[in-house]
Structure 1
Amino acid sequence: GRKVTVEPHRHEGVFICRGKEDALVTKNMVVGDSVYGEKRISVEEGELKIEYRAWNPFRSKLAAAILGGVDQIHIKPGAKVMYLGAASGTTVSHVSDIVGPEGLVYAVEFSHRSGRDLLNVAKKRTNIIPIIEDARHPHKYRMLVGMVDVIFADVAQPDQTRIVALNAHNFLKNGGHFVISIKANCIDSTAPPEVVFASEVKKMSAENMKPQEQLTLEPYERDHAVVVGIYSYRKN
């Protein structure tokens, strides 16, 4: 077979595996371990064998945004990330790979069923701090969480922007960033998606969250958009 090569993506900590078909990959923090049945690829770099994990954009909004050409994800090696709507930890595991041993992922998930899977992922990945709580009540986990550089949110709730804002006011540093995945029909199934996205962006602006970029997730997800921006407030 053809020799597989892996090269860095322009987003630090993300890679592209060049083979018969190109694939988005992250460097596996727990070598020999797949989290959700994803393919692992070993590449020899000099004396070292480095293992990468395939990152499927049909199963991850963040991967879809990266392949869709998002300009910035702000999630990079050493970053402290709060992940709202962590579910079973599929995307969280790739964020854990990206931020690496120097970074942290505070993974918040309300569902106890998904939470069980998330706890298992976190057992092997020491940089994931699983929090099985409702993201609407950040005061319940304020003792567990330090200030973060980035909030990533995929909570698919009608009041998602308010939920992100509450967490930003508590944990996001001034000048930190947010990446929000918006599913239009979760917020308003009667309005056209573009109208829903515009209305959410307006809500963000009212919370010191300044959107800098918006893109849809076609062809991976229908009627989804990702909004990336900066959180900044004037210090009195």
Structure 2
Amino acid sequence: MRGGRGGGRGGGRGGGFGGGGGRGGGGGGGRGGFGGRGGGRGGGRGAGGRGGGRGAGGRGGGRGGAAAVRGNVFQPHARMRGCYLLAGKDTLATKSLVPGVSIYGEKRLSGTTAGETESCEFRVWNPYRSKLAAAIYSGVAQIYMEPGSTVLYLGAASGTTVSHVSDLVGPEGVVYAVEFSHRSGRDLEEMTKRRNNIVPILEDARYPQKYRMLIPRLVDCIFMDVAQPDQARILALNAQHFLKDNGGFVISIKANCIDSTADPATVFASEVQKLKESGLRPKEQASLEPFERDHAVVTGYYKSPPK
């Protein structure tokens, strides 16, 4: 078994997508407690369906992509610092750290933030291509990342979501991106040539002692997208090594990878209990449908939450 993710997360279920739609970044669908499948399906399909073409297959290496569309106004997300919403629409985006470069064929929009005149480039964050974006659209209250944060990303693949986290934390933040697949790792390393705030780590997330020397300080947040039956244990091990006390975690759980015969709600409840027994404090659970079938995201703190 591998602790990292397998091949590239490339093609995905759709490239850019339009605005409009239901659940989006503002409030999102309802959030479930522990034991259910999360927050229900909520409203519509989030960001206006699957959108135009099939994207460009995120192999990471900084492709040009379509030219940025101009004349848009973006508003800071109400809960997620470093994230933006296209004014009047339900389109989630991050401000590009490397303008002019597309990572996975994502739509790029040139615009200004509310109250400012200087134009910047924003990258649309597609929830059908990123579980972290899907979590935001599903209405989670917190992802424990913001500009300046230090993030440990387990299961980085070829860097689709990592690139948006890089935008989010900005030049003052750091993303330690762990990936076991050497094929995906090559794409990840190629992308980091343009993004100095990403540290690629080609190691197995099941053995954090192998890369502890590459992470010199405790991190603010761990994001985990490693589809393994023992992913709760893997998260706990990495938290013990690298996550600061009261630091946050976000874990994506795929029910079929843990037990394909059990009801997803039962699987999610079992994983939450494992997290609690490992010294983690789950705080929130949300379904990732309709973006990902039989997936849930769980967020929380390591040890006691801050007062």
Q: TM-score with structure 1 length normalisation?
A: 0.95
User: Can you give the 5+ residue segments of structure 1 that lack an aligned partner in the other structure?
Assistant: none
Q: In the alignment, is the contact (CA less than 8 A) between 2:72 and 2:112 conserved in 1? A: no
1:159 is aligned, of 230, 240, 243, to 230
Distance 1:57 1:18 in 2: 18
Cα deviation, residue 204, structure 1: 0.3
Report the 3-state secondary structure (helix = DSSP H, G, I; strand = E; otherwise coil) of the residue aligned with 1:4: strand
Q: Does 1:196 align with 2:264?
A: no
The structure in which a higher percent of residues are helix is 1
Distance 2:118 2:82 in 1: 18
Whole-angstrom distance in 1 between the partners of 2:274 and 2:95: 36
Pairwise CA RMSD: 1.7
Aligned match for 1:209, one of 280, 292, 295: 280
SS in 1 for 2:213: coil
Bigger share in strand: 1
Letter in 2 for 1:51: E
For 1:6, the equivalent position in structure 2 comes to 74
Shift in CA distance, 152/44, structure 1 to aligned 2, threshold 3 Å: closer
Give the letter aligned to residue 201 of structure 1. Answer: V
Give the whole-Å Cα distance in 1 for the aligned partners of 2:165 and 2:70.
29
- Asked if structure 1 preserves the Cα contact closer than 8 Å seen for 2:179 and 2:203, the reply is yes
Equivalent in 221, 226, 229 of residue 292 of structure 2: 221
C-alpha separation in 1, matches of 2:70 and 2:108: 16
Give, in whole Å, the separation in 2 of the partners of 1:182 and 1:22.
25
1:64 Cα deviation (Å)? 0.5
Say whether residues 1:66 and 2:136 are aligned partners: yes
Give the Cα–Cα distance (whole angstroms) in 1 for the partners of residues 236 and 156 of structure 2: 17
SS at match of 1:186: helix
Percent sequence identity over aligned pairs: 63
Match of 1:82 among 152, 159, 162: 152
Does the alignment pair 1:57 with 2:131? no
1:124 aligned counterpart, secondary structure = coil
Hey, what's the Cα distance between the residues in 2 that align with 1:170 and 1:37? Answer: 35
How many matched pairs? 233
- Pick from 176, 179, 196: which aligns with 2:250? 179
Query: Quick one: higher RCO (CA 8 Å, sep 6+), 1 or 2?
Result: 2
Partner-residue secondary structure (3-state), 1:70? coil
Distance 1:44 1:132 in 2: 37
